[in-house]
Amino acid sequence: MISGSVIRSFVLLLIFACFVVPTARAAEVEKLMAAMAAVKHRVVSYKEEKQMEMLEESLHSEGRLEYIAPDKLIRSVMKPVEMRYIIDSRQLIIDKGGKLQVRSLENLPLVRVFVESFRSVLAGDLDTLNKYYSITFSGDPPAWKLILQPKDKKLAVYVKKLELSGTGDDVQLYVVEDSNGDLTRMQLYPFDSKVNE
């Protein structure tokens, strides 16, 4: 039998873990967010690898990512096919060879929350990030790593956790782990025009 005092100390430890650790790191998260917020426009190249249960081999793609503060994200896939995803706070536009599909985010609540995992980090919008995700910060400045777990139960059905890591105000890696274990790893580089030709 486990004695009462052991349980008590375990509970205390849990409470400590819940309150003290996050507050200790809160200042660093805020600092990171402030640094991110200062960058109003980014253009980077990316390479992405998807490992999926339904696929026998992983899927590779690459392209360019653009962010315009406060809410516009443009993902231009260059390989294997050209496609563009333009998203802001209102709508998602999918551009496939000039053929546009416009979708209101009002009808895609999950996508909206999902996009916040990336957008609110770039925008340094800690309030929004906190609203939708529980945040765990690690790493030694200037290197950093954020692990985001969806608070939204509907989103949690699809996505287990997200990881963003980088140095200073640069995001270098964005990993999405789906609830079935599928993994998406997106590596971000300084904009390289060669990749995009």
Residues in contact with another protein by CB under 8 A are 48, 50, 52-57, 59, 61, 63, 75, 77, 80-81, 83, 85, 90, 94, 102-104, 106-107, 110-111, 114-115, 158-159, 176, 178, 182, 184
Residue at token pair 């309150």:
19
Write the CA distances from 73 to 3, 11, 93, integer angstroms.
Answer: 55, 43, 11
Q: How far is the CB of 75 from another protein (least distance, A)?
A: 6
39 vs 111, beta carbon nearer another protein: 111
83 vs 173, beta carbon nearer another protein: 83
125 vs 137, beta carbon nearer another protein: 125
Q: How far is the CB of 30 from another protein (least distance, A)?
A: 26
Can you tell me the distance from the alpha carbon of 187 to that of 176, in angstroms, rounded to the nearest whole number? 12
Q: How far is the CB of 137 from another protein (least distance, A)?
A: 23
Q: Which two tokens stand for residue 158?
A: 């699809």
**CA-wise closest residue to 152 among 109, 183, 104, 108:** 109
Question: Between vectors from CA 14 to CA 11 and to CA 18, what angle results, nearest 5°?
Answer: 145
138 vs 180, beta carbon nearer another protein: 180
Q: How far is the CB of 106 from another protein (least distance, A)?
A: 5
Q: How far is the CB of 66 from another protein (least distance, A)?
A: 13
Can you tell me the distance from the alpha carbon of 24 to that of 167, in angstroms, rounded to the nearest whole number? 20
Q: Which two tokens stand for residue 178?
A: 């789906």
> Is-contact 149 134, C-beta < 8 A?
yes
57 vs 197, beta carbon nearer another protein: 57
Q: Hey, is 66 helix, strand or coil?
A: strand
